[in-house]
């Protein structure tokens, strides 16, 4: 059986026709996980029993005629989303023993849509990383080449979808953590507008940037799942109360006449030659589809990375203060006093990159430095956002590379934080401005996939998804699979 | 921008992080690099620019009505606590 090669829509149709049951479908993916996960290290926790129970419930709904479009579709959850009664680690030793007492809204919504939970995916610790090498559970390997990283921080979700150990996975994106790994493993990934998807129960990293999204082979798959998780949630104070369009219905909107802006700044610094050529070929493809391409400039965009590395660490240092060794999470042995309990619990529970960011954030927020760093960075965020706003007065979407290079080798960038941070040079801008953005596969550099990025105006997910879908209707990069996992 | 050991020790203390002797020089080096890297922001003229308050224009933090909306689930929550006694979280003695 090759159920893992089917799209969400095809799987859904097959379940409705009773070509296979939801239990058979779940078992198919569980078998693939058993054989391939040990080498990829993409799942931290596999929830086999839960998956089969969910699948039996889905089969009952299918038999009773109460099934929805996603009933019986297996899904992997990034281990940053709280799952009631299931270990939720966030890739950290700090939460190695944490059994979440409640479900995140994203988890709850996918459960009520009838999906089947396969497990929790590996990730950079607290989503801080661009290679999945900061995980307490070890690095994830790229299914296209086991010596390469899958990107991060949603590296596990990226790898499980690329190797088809799940048809779809959730991710989160604070500075590129959905789009960069999607590009590096050759799948599609969408980061919606800030506030579009509830973050209740999604462990916080940088609250003015964090957003949940979907990773799957195609834009169509992403649209179907985004539909299920998007929408207002009173439990997240940043959730926006605004109607959710029918993303799947709007997928067929033609590209003809669409104005796409080529982001000048994305083609200037540090872009690898082959990646640039493949992205340029994607631009030509859009031109052939009838889009109008114009060059646009966002002059402050090159300040994205330094701006982010003030804002994100500052917010993380505040968010991660909740991990105190008292109420949940790791506690050191034999604390001498309360300060010793805090310091050693946190010192032992957090890995090096997380500690580095907490200390950076503590520094930029400390007395006398707030204006020079955080306030300054928030002002530059206003400049970057204004650049995007001006660009969207001229064009419907922006386009550029997702990542400056294809997947790099494990260990290649771990010693130099700045080199690692520059992986996100093209993705961070959308987070700073709260814009929706996605990456879709646009070709191969040798055996390694390359992604092209689309950025839309606030709440422009539909137009972005339909543009991605149009490209995928005339290309097959999103259908390619690494040979070892076909 | 170069941080001293004392500054990094101070940050670690403020952030309640125990840093070993061996780790300290590594953090001195990488934190100095990061702060040098973000230093470029100071060259940008932001005199007439308002700091961003919310990524979405016109949006602000919503407030809910001051009604009881949560039930008491402390027993379930305390299952994750490293040390409890009765309904209390246990920490080392704070007041002698």
**Partner residue opposite B51 with nearest CB, options A97, A348, A378:** A378
Domain around A62: 3-250
Contact A240 B94 (CB under 8 A): no
Contact A347 B19 (CB under 8 A): yes
Does some domain include residue A396?
A: no
Does B96 have pLDDT greater than 80? no
The domain tally of chain A equals: 1
Q: pTM score, two decimals? A: 0.97
Does A435 have pLDDT greater than 90? yes
Identify the burial level of A472 via C-beta atoms within 10 angstroms of its C-beta, where 0-12 means exposed, 13-18 middle and 19 or more buried: buried
Q: A455 has which bridge partners? A: A398, A437
Report CA-CA distances (Å) from A292 to A219, A258, A474, B45: 21, 6, 17, 34
Contacts of B33 in chain A (CB under 8 A): 416-418
Does A352 have pLDDT greater than 80? yes
Q: What would the DSSP string read from start to end of A351-416?
A: -HHHHHHHHHHHHHHSTTTTIIIIIHHHHHHHHHHHHHHHHTTT-SEEEEESSSSSPPBTTSSTT-
Q: A212 has which bridge partners? A: A172
The first and second tokens of residue A150, run together, are 């899958």
Does some domain include residue A261?
A: no
Confidence of residue A60 (pLDDT cuts 50, 70, 90): very high
Q: What is the mean pLDDT of residues A82-86?
A: 98
- pLDDT given for residue A322 in this prediction: 97
Does some domain include residue A275?
A: no
Does A154 have pLDDT greater than 90? yes
Spatial distance between the Cα atoms of A395 and B71, rounded to a whole number of angstroms: 49
% of chain A at pLDDT higher than 90: 97
Does A361 have pLDDT greater than 90? yes
Altogether, the residues listed in chain B come to a count of 96
Q: What is the mean pLDDT of residues A81-100?
A: 98
Instruction: Give, in degrees to the nearest 5, the angle at Cα A428 between A267 and A205.
Output: 165
Q: Decide: A22 and A59 in contact? Cβ < 8 Å.
A: yes
% of chain A at pLDDT higher than 70: 100
Q: Decide: A405 and A425 in contact? Cβ < 8 Å.
A: no
Contact B44 A337 (CB under 8 A): no
Q: What is the mean pLDDT of residues A28-55?
A: 98
**Tokens 């190695």 appear where?**
A96
Contact B44 A380 (CB under 8 A): yes
Model confidence over A442-459: pLDDT tens digits?
999 999 999 999 999 999
- For residue A474, the surrounding DSSP H or E stretch is helix A461-474
Axis crossing angle, helix B24-38 with helix B5-14, rounded to the nearest 10: 90
Spatial distance between the Cα atoms of A125 and A350, rounded to a whole number of angstroms: 8
**Partner residue opposite A306 with nearest CB, options B40, B55, B77:** B40
Start-to-end Cα distance in chain A:
11
Contacts of A301 in chain B (CB under 8 A): none
Model confidence over A170-205: pLDDT tens digits?
999 999 999 999 999 999 999 999 999 999 999 999
Does some domain include residue A136?
A: yes
Q: A170 has which bridge partners? A: A214
Altogether, the residues listed in chain A come to a count of 486
Rounded to a whole number, what is the distance in Å from the CA of B68 to chain A's nearest CA? 13
Mention every residue, 6+ apart, whose C-beta is less than 8 A from residue A408.
Answer: A131, A148, A149
Query: Taking all residues of chain B, what is their mean pLDDT, rounded to a whole number?
Result: 93
Does some domain include residue A286?
A: no
Contact A434 B40 (CB under 8 A): no
Q: Decide: A6 and A80 in contact? Cβ < 8 Å.
A: no
> What stretches of A51-163 adopt beta strand conformation (E)?
74-78, 116-121
Contacts of A325 in chain B (CB under 8 A): 82
Cite the active site residues of A: 78, 153, 177
Contact B51 A375 (CB under 8 A): yes
- In this structure, the strands spanning A169-172 and A448-455 are unpaired
The first and second tokens of residue A140, run together, are 């994830």
- pLDDT given for residue B1 in this prediction: 78
User: How many C-beta atoms lie closer than 10 Å to residue A58's C-beta?
Assistant: 26
- pLDDT given for residue A367 in this prediction: 86
Q: What is the interface pTM, i.e. ipTM, of the complex?
A: 0.96
Spatial distance between the Cα atoms of A419 and A413, rounded to a whole number of angstroms: 6
- pLDDT given for residue A1 in this prediction: 60
Does some domain include residue A168?
A: yes
- pLDDT given for residue A416 in this prediction: 87
| Closest residue of chain A to B63, computed from CA coordinates | A237
Model confidence over B54-86: pLDDT tens digits?
888 877 778 888 999 889 999 999 999 999 999
Does some domain include residue A272?
A: no
Contacts of B38 in chain A (CB under 8 A): 306-307, 309-310, 364, 373, 377
Does some domain include residue A318?
A: no
User: How many C-beta atoms lie closer than 10 Å to residue A297's C-beta?
Assistant: 14
The CATH number of residue A118's host domain is 3.90.1300.10
Alpha carbon A283 to its chain's center = 24
Axis crossing angle, helix A352-365 with helix A304-319, rounded to the nearest 10: 100
- pLDDT given for residue A266 in this prediction: 95
């Amino acid at each position: 059986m090759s159920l893992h090669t089917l799209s969400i829509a095809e799987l859904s149709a097959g379940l409705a026709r009773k070509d296979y049951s939801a239990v058979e479908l779940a078992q198919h993916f569980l078998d693939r996980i058993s054989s391939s996960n040990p080498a990829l290290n993409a799942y931290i926790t596999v929830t086999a029993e839960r998956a089969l129970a969910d699948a039996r419930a889905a089969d009952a709904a299918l038999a009773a005629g109460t099934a929805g479009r996603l009933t019986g579709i297996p899904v992997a959850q990034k281990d940053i989303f709280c799952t009631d009664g299931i270990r939720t680690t966030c890739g950290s030793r700090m939460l190695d023993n944490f059994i979440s007492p409640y479900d995140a809204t994203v988890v709850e919504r996918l459960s009520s849509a009838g999906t089947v939970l396969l497990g929790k995916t590996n990730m950079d610790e607290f989503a801080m990383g661009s290679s999945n090498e900061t995980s307490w559970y070890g690095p994830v390997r790229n299914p296209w080449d086991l010596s390469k990283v899958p990107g991060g921080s949603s590296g596990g979700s990226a790898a499980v979808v690329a190797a088809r150990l799940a048809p779809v996975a959730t991710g989160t994106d604070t500075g590129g953590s959905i789009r960069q790994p999607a590009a590096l493993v050759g799948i599609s990934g969408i980061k919606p507008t800030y506030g579009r998807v509830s973050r209740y129960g999604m462990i916080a990293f940088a609250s003015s940037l964090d957003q949940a999204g979907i990773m799957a082979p195609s834009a169509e798959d992403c649209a179907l799942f985004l539909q299920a998780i998007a929408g207002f949630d009173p439990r997240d104070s940043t959730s926006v109360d605004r109607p959710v369009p029918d993303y799947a219905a709007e997928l067929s909107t033609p590209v003809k006449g669409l104005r796409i802006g080529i982001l000048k700044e994305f083609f200037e610094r540090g872009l690898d030659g082959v990646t640039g050529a493949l992205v340029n070929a994607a631009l030509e493809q859009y031109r052939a589809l009838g889009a109008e391409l114009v060059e646009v400039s966002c002059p402050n965009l090159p300040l994205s990375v330094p701006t982010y590395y003030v804002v994100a660490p500052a917010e993380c240092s505040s968010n991660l203060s909740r991990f105190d060794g008292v109420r949940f999470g790791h506690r050191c042995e034999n604390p001498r006093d309360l300060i010793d309990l805090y310091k050693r619990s946190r010192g032992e529970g957090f890995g090096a990159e997380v500690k580095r960011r907490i200390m950076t954030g503590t520094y930029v927020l400390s007395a006398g430095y707030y204006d020079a760093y955080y306030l300054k960075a928030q002002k530059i965020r206003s400049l970057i956002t204004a650049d995007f706003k001006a660009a969207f007065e001229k064009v419907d979407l922006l386009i550029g590379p997702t990542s400056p290079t294809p997947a790099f080798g494990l260990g290649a960038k771990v010693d130099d934080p700045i080199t690692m941070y520059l992986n996100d040079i093209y993705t961070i801008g959308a987070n700073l401005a709260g814009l929706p953005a996605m990456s879709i596969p646009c070709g191969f550099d040798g055996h390694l996939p390359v992604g092209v990025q689309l950025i839309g105006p606030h709440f422009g997910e539909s137009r972005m998804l339909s543009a991605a879908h149009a490209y995928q209707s005339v290309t097959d990069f999103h259908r390619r699979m690494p040979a070892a996992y076909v | 921008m170069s941080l001293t050991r004392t500054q990094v020790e101070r940050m670690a203390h403020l952030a309640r992080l125990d840093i070993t002797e061996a780790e300290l020089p590594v953090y001195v080096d990488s934190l100095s690099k990061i702060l040098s890297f973000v230093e470029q922001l100071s060259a940008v003229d932001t005199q007439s620019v308002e700091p961003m308050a919310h990524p979405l224009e016109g949006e602000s933090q919503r407030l809910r009505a001051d009604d009881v909306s949560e039930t008491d689930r402390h027993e379930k929550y305390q299952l994750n606590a490293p040390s409890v006694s009765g309904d209390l979280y246990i920490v080392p003695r704070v007041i002698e």
